[in-house]
Homo-oligomer: A and B are copies of this chain.
Amino acid sequence: MRAKIITIGDEILIGQIVDTNSAWLSSELNKCGIAVGEILSVSDNGDCISSCLDEALRDYELVLVTGGLGPTKDDITKQSLCSLFACGLKNDEASFEHNRAMLTQRGIPFTELNRCQSNVPEACTVLFNRNGTAPGMMFERDGHYLVCMPGVPYEMKTIFAEQLAPRLDKIFRLGAVYHKTMITTGMAESVLAATIERWETDLHEGLKLAYLPNPNGVRLRLSSYTLGKEEAEHAVEEAFRELGKIIPDNIIGYEGASVESAVADMLRERSYTLSVAESCTGGRIASRFTAMAGASDYFLGGVTAYTVAVKSEVLGVPQATISEYGVVSEPVARAMAEGVAALTGSDFAIATTGVAGPSGGTEQTPVGTVWMAVKTPWGTVAEVRVFNSEREVNIERASAYAMDMLRMQLKKAKA
């Protein structure tokens, strides 16, 4: 049982937008036991769409299409679908009523374009879109299925979860592709590979290992394509348990876990609170914590201290310390962490001060240099790193590193 994902839109081929839908869909399909064979992006030109969909529907049992819908680009896609399934258009009343009500509520005028959005090819089953105006559509041909969904990510996701997944479950007898991913941090890919070489060699032969590095660390994915579900689960659990003995300090968690979610779990567990004082990371650490639902359980707040004045006046870093050691220094990082903890009354605090780049570096403090401090109830620790990369990566790495320093402190407290 294999699927192909097709995204329609010149905006992808000219590099204007990044295709995040395919990654999300692949992940969901895999969870259902459907392997994705190919992901293809094509132009929103009628001929391309028709021939691609036709071919994909021949080769794959399931073809998921995103994009090519929406008030201003319905025409081409829906015409291609009508000709592919030899039918005309009909109006879907439920979608029509929903669209009119939704736009009225938002105070957006209901136009002719909106009216046309509830038209669908007669051959389709409508997949209701409660978050938007473009309904999803499902078609069948010789036991193969084609599903079209709008490209807006949260609309597509809701349609998939609420309308499509239950139908796929009924239609296909879903198999047992199995993946589990361990999230590690604090070890470069090559060092990690050398450290776990023997473990890798000894892996169950039905498992496949992949290394997935990013600025926050390296993820290790174990996959089974051939074992039965229970055997796969068991082999993976066993392998990760062994790995836990080899790199105990570098494991953050599994799947969607991140250094911030690991920290959040540990803070919550003990009713600890956190605040942050950020210079070069500029709000990124606060933003990563508050992006998670329920952050108010432990996150009190933060100060983005971009200037010397904010560092001294708001966070209470002594002017003399700044003059003597410079803004990017251990004493300033420590004083920032302690200052924001005092200001907010938090148990823990993270602070960063550094040179994100591309300019602002000196010989002594090159671009990428970041001092990071973590204030805990049992003292403050500080470290410096030189993240010699571009601005965005430096900010991301410094944020991850500083949060991981807190994770290590919390781990120590727990032990």
Residues of chain A having any CB pair with chain B under 8 Å: 9-20, 22-30, 35-44, 70-73, 103, 106, 108-109, 111-114, 131, 133, 152, 154, 179, 181, 188-191, 193-194, 208, 210-214, 219, 221, 223, 276, 278, 281-287, 289-291, 293-296, 299-307, 309-310, 313-314, 343-345, 356-360, 389-393, 395
Residues of B within 8 A of A310 (CB): 300-301, 343-344
Question: Could you give 21 example pairs across A and B, Cβ below 8 Å?
Answer: A9-B210, A11-B212, A13-B36, A18-B18, A38-B40, A71-B189, A71-B193, A72-B193, A72-B211, A103-B190, A113-B194, A114-B190, A152-B213, A276-B304, A283-B287, A286-B304, A290-B306, A301-B307, A301-B310, A310-B343, A310-B344
Q: Is there contact, CB below 8 Å, between B113 and A193?
A: yes
Q: Measured between C-beta atoms, what is the minimum distance from A180 to chain B in Å?
A: 11
Which B residues are in CB contact (< 8 Å) with A305?
A: 301
Q: Are B14 and A24 closer than 8 Å at their CB atoms? A: no
A139 to chain B, nearest CB (A): 23
Known A-B contacts A71-B190, A291-B395; A19 and B16 likewise in contact (beta carbons under 8 Å): no
Per assembly, the copies of the chain total 2
User: What does DSSP make chain A's interface, helix, strand, loop or mixed?
Assistant: mixed
Say how far A399's CB is from chain B's closest CB, in angstroms: 9
Known: A15-B25, A193-B111, A295-B282. A300 touches B307 (CB 8 A): yes
Q: Select the residue from A19, A293, A301 with max chain B CB neighbours within 10 A.
A: A301
Contact of A41 among B30, B38, B112, B313 (CB under 8 A): B38
CA distance A59 to B145 in the complex (A): 28
A19 to B389, CA, bound (A): 20
A389 to B16, CA, bound (A): 24
Q: Is the CB of B14 within 8 A of A36?
A: yes
Q: Is the CB of B291 within 8 A of A17?
A: no
B301 touches A302 (CB 8 A): no
Chain B hits for A70, CB < 8 A: 189, 211, 213
CB-CB nearest in chain B for A21: B18
Q: Which residue of B lies closest to A358 (CB)?
A: B293
User: By the criterion CB–CB under 8 Å, are B39 and A27 in contact?
Assistant: no
A285 touching B283 by the CB < 8 A rule?
Answer: yes
Residues of B within 8 A of A219 (CB): 16
Which chain B residue shows the least CB distance to A307?
A: B300
Residues A343 and B359 in contact in the complex (CB < 8 Å), given A302-B283, A309-B300: no
Check B304–A302 contact: CB distance below 8 A: yes
